[in-house]
A and B are shown apart, each in its own frame.
Chain A
Amino acid sequence: MFEAPYTYDYLARPLKLKPETAAGLPEVTDGGRTYTIHIRPGIYFADDPAFGGKKRELVAADYVYSLKRLLDPKVRASQIAEIEPYVLGAEEAAARARKANHFDYDAPIEGIRTLDRYTYQVRLKDPLYVFIYNFADCRIQCAVAREVVEKYGDDFSSHPVGTGPWRLTFWKRSSKMVFERNPNYREEHFDAQPNADDARGQEILARLKGRRMPMIDRVEISIVEETQPRWLSFLNGEMDLLWLVPEEFAYQAFPNNKLAPSLAKRGIEMQQLPALEVTYAYFNMLDPVVGGYTPEKVALRRAISLSYKVQDEISIIRKGQAIPADTPYSPGVAGYDPDFHTSANEYDLPKAKALLDMYGYLDRNHDGYREMPDGSPLTIHMWSTPAPPDPQYDELWKRSLDDIGVRLEIVKGKWPDILKAARQAKVQFWKLGGSASSPDADTWLTALYGPNREGNLAKFDLPAYNKLYEQARTMPDSPERTRIYQQMTKLVVSYVPWRVNTHRIRTSMWYPQLVGFTRSPLLSFNFWKYVDIDLGAPTVASR
């Protein structure tokens, strides 16, 4: 529904920024401090009573307004940390608003301004090349119209009005959503830049190039939280697409990663894609038992890391749908180098035990479990939810730590409650996954940067890492910056604030009537306008 000035090319890999409502790429000047963006004239919002019966053109001021909303405390913007510390005048504006309990949208902010009707500029305090991706992040830069926000107030969040190809026409919370074409959507034609050796991409381009978008009339989304009903409704033909085949059905759906013959016979297609994602288990670096930077603390975390056999996680729990990770960032992002390997996933019990022995974690009372170097009890508290597959992880970690004589206790909680406790640094050890919000390793590395209070759940704060991170942020993607990322990775592997585990492989399946579908590595990418429904395709059950 909403549109940022930029998006990513539908078929280019690695991901490539592409104008959405903008004319051309942003002009980046002043050594990575100033971003100037031109919006294409003649783009209109979907009709709404808030516009008083007139067509409402998208202008640069809409992007300025939308960006300012992040600083309004009443909005509770999720991505404020991407803007407030970096944009000139943003901290002051946010502070004024917090003090007055009111955000003044008419007050100018030094670093966010329009230059003319269709041009705006964002200026930063310091060079920050990865800032460019914010202009493609809907949470930061999707255009909303001030009249609409002001007319609907608190109801705005259930009353979306944007410039994009879709309008929300039906919404039953937690159950169903229907989107239909926005008749005001501009004339856009399918185009993309797949690699020459990307057979699927080339085939999609050949079939759809030049077609007016969107090609379909309507999108019906059902909310199905449980994995089994989701899987069955796809098999029954109630769905055109299964966006994510649940890992538990992997052997059934694609034994040995080949589509099951019974599904292939029905014309079902499959795509497997390494996600831009890292799974890891983090230690709370402020915790008196597992935290800290002294050698015996590092040794404890390192020993725990060495005791964990990630291949068991991959084969038993993830049904082969993951690869071991070497780095705290995934393949497919800027800064990733496939030739760079680390010992992040080393599994070596004798080494783990030797480390613990060496630093005085000994079993003095002969109960089978080691104590702290000072003789006090040692118990690791791992948090986890009661929902599958977490109990399987509990078992795997319990076995791993038993193998090296370290006692593990599981603390059960609901996921949002654990997250809340984690933010308050009350969680000792927890397994997480992180999906990329931009195609740059920075999207994860920022979560280990000391001053990043919001996103750094491990509370890792190592001066050497912080310094490298600050340096990397002033550099465009380059071999030099990749080497800095690798130095940072070595610090992560040495100090083990994160036990880096896997990158997951995601599988989508669809029926032959869905034409042109491909999975973007970016979870948030909306593909609807790029696909067609072939009404002449062989029908399945309910169609």
Chain B
Amino acid sequence: MSAMGSFRNACAYLAVLAAALACAPAAAQPQKVLRYAFEIAETNFDPTRSATSTRTS
């Protein structure tokens, strides 16, 4: 939260100096992204058709 706060302040400060800079809230908030890998690709997103057997070697 503290990192976010200081970023907003930096935006406000910049806005005073150069009003043209894009400091809209949407652009100012860095996105929280979770990245990881699946072993097996999804073949469809219909929950009812989801597979019964998953390979567990």
A-B pairs, 5 with minimum CB distance? A433-B56, A157-B44, A160-B45, A533-B32, A157-B46
A157 B49 Cβ-Cβ under 8 A? yes
Stretch of A24-32, A37-45, A74-82, A266-274 lying at the B interface:
A74-82
Q: Is B37 an interface residue (CB 8 A)?
A: yes
Given contacts A224-B37, A279-B56, contact A77 B48 (CB under 8 A): yes
**A223 nearest in chain B by CB position:** B41
A230 B39 Cβ-Cβ under 8 A? yes
Chain B window 14-57, contacts with chain A (Cβ cutoff 8 Å), 1 for yes, 0 for no: 00000000000000001111111111111111111111111111
Contact of A535 among B30, B36, B38, B50 (CB under 8 A): B30
Complex-state Cα separation, A69 to B50, whole angstroms? 13
Complex-state Cα separation, A244 to B38, whole angstroms? 9
Q: Is A277 an interface residue (CB 8 A)?
A: yes
B-side binding surface: helix, strand, loop or mixed? loop
Segment 53-95 of A: residues with Cβ below 8 Å from B: 66, 69-70, 75-79
A533 B34 Cβ-Cβ under 8 A? yes
Residues of chain B contacted by A389 (CB below 8 angstroms)? 57
CB distance from A327 to the nearest CB of B (A): 17
Residues of chain B contacted by A244 (CB below 8 angstroms)? 39
**B53 nearest in chain A by CB position:** A419
Residues of chain A contacted by B40 (CB below 8 angstroms)? 223, 225
Residues of chain A contacted by B34 (CB below 8 angstroms)? 216, 218-220, 240-241, 514, 528, 531, 533
A75 B49 Cβ-Cβ under 8 A? yes
Q: Is A110 an interface residue (CB 8 A)?
A: no
Given contacts A157-B49, A240-B35, A242-B36, contact A523 B54 (CB under 8 A): yes
User: Can you sample 30 A-B contacts with CB below 8 Å?
Assistant: A66-B48, A75-B46, A76-B49, A78-B49, A160-B45, A160-B46, A173-B41, A217-B32, A219-B33, A220-B34, A220-B35, A221-B35, A221-B36, A221-B38, A222-B36, A223-B37, A223-B41, A230-B37, A242-B37, A243-B37, A243-B38, A244-B39, A279-B56, A385-B57, A389-B57, A434-B56, A532-B32, A533-B32, A533-B33, A535-B32
Contact of A79 among B43, B52, B55, B56 (CB under 8 A): B52
Residues of chain B contacted by A78 (CB below 8 angstroms)? 48-52
Residues of chain A contacted by B46 (CB below 8 angstroms)? 75, 144, 156-157, 160
**A231 nearest in chain B by CB position:** B37
**A138 nearest in chain B by CB position:** B47
**B39 nearest in chain A by CB position:** A225
Q: Is B4 an interface residue (CB 8 A)?
A: yes
Residues of chain B contacted by A240 (CB below 8 angstroms)? 34-36
A168 B45 Cβ-Cβ under 8 A? yes
Residues of chain A contacted by B9 (CB below 8 angstroms)? none
Residues of chain A contacted by B48 (CB below 8 angstroms)? 66, 69-70, 75, 77-79, 139-140, 142, 144
Q: Is A177 an interface residue (CB 8 A)?
A: yes
Complex-state Cα separation, A294 to B54, whole angstroms? 33
Q: Is A136 an interface residue (CB 8 A)?
A: no
Contact of B37 among A138, A222, A279 (CB under 8 A): A222
Binding site for B on A (CB under 8 A): 1-2, 66, 69-70, 75-79, 138-140, 142, 144, 156-160, 168, 173-175, 177, 215-225, 230, 233-234, 238-244, 277, 279, 385, 387, 389-390, 415, 419, 431-435, 455, 504, 514, 523, 528, 531-533, 535-536
Complex-state Cα separation, A532 to B44, whole angstroms? 27
| Interface-centre pick from A69, A157, A177, A433 (highest chain B CB count, 10 A) | A157
**B50 nearest in chain A by CB position:** A139
B2 A536 Cβ-Cβ under 8 A? yes
Residues of chain A contacted by B44 (CB below 8 angstroms)? 157-158
**A532 nearest in chain B by CB position:** B32
B36 A239 Cβ-Cβ under 8 A? yes
CB distance from B36 to the nearest CB of A (A): 4
Complex-state Cα separation, A140 to B37, whole angstroms? 26
B37 A221 Cβ-Cβ under 8 A? yes
Q: Given A240-B36, A419-B53, A533-B33, 16 other A-B contacts at CB below 8 A?
A: A77-B49, A78-B49, A157-B44, A160-B46, A173-B41, A218-B34, A221-B35, A224-B37, A224-B39, A238-B35, A239-B35, A240-B34, A243-B37, A243-B38, A387-B57, A435-B56
A217 B56 Cβ-Cβ under 8 A? no
Residues of chain A contacted by B55 (CB below 8 angstroms)? 415, 433
Complex-state Cα separation, A367 to B17, whole angstroms? 93
**B55 nearest in chain A by CB position:** A415
Complex-state Cα separation, A144 to B49, whole angstroms? 12
B54 A435 Cβ-Cβ under 8 A? yes
Complex-state Cα separation, A225 to B41, whole angstroms? 8
CB distance from B20 to the nearest CB of A (A): 26
CB distance from A215 to the nearest CB of B (A): 7
**A139 nearest in chain B by CB position:** B50
**A215 nearest in chain B by CB position:** B32
Complex-state Cα separation, A140 to B56, whole angstroms? 22
Complex-state Cα separation, A174 to B42, whole angstroms? 7
Complex-state Cα separation, A156 to B53, whole angstroms? 22
Contact of B36 among A140, A241, A434 (CB under 8 A): A241
Residues of chain B contacted by A504 (CB below 8 angstroms)? 56
Residues of chain A contacted by B4 (CB below 8 angstroms)? 535
Complex-state Cα separation, A435 to B51, whole angstroms? 13
Complex-state Cα separation, A219 to B35, whole angstroms? 6
Complex-state Cα separation, A240 to B34, whole angstroms? 6
Residues of chain B contacted by A230 (CB below 8 angstroms)? 37, 39
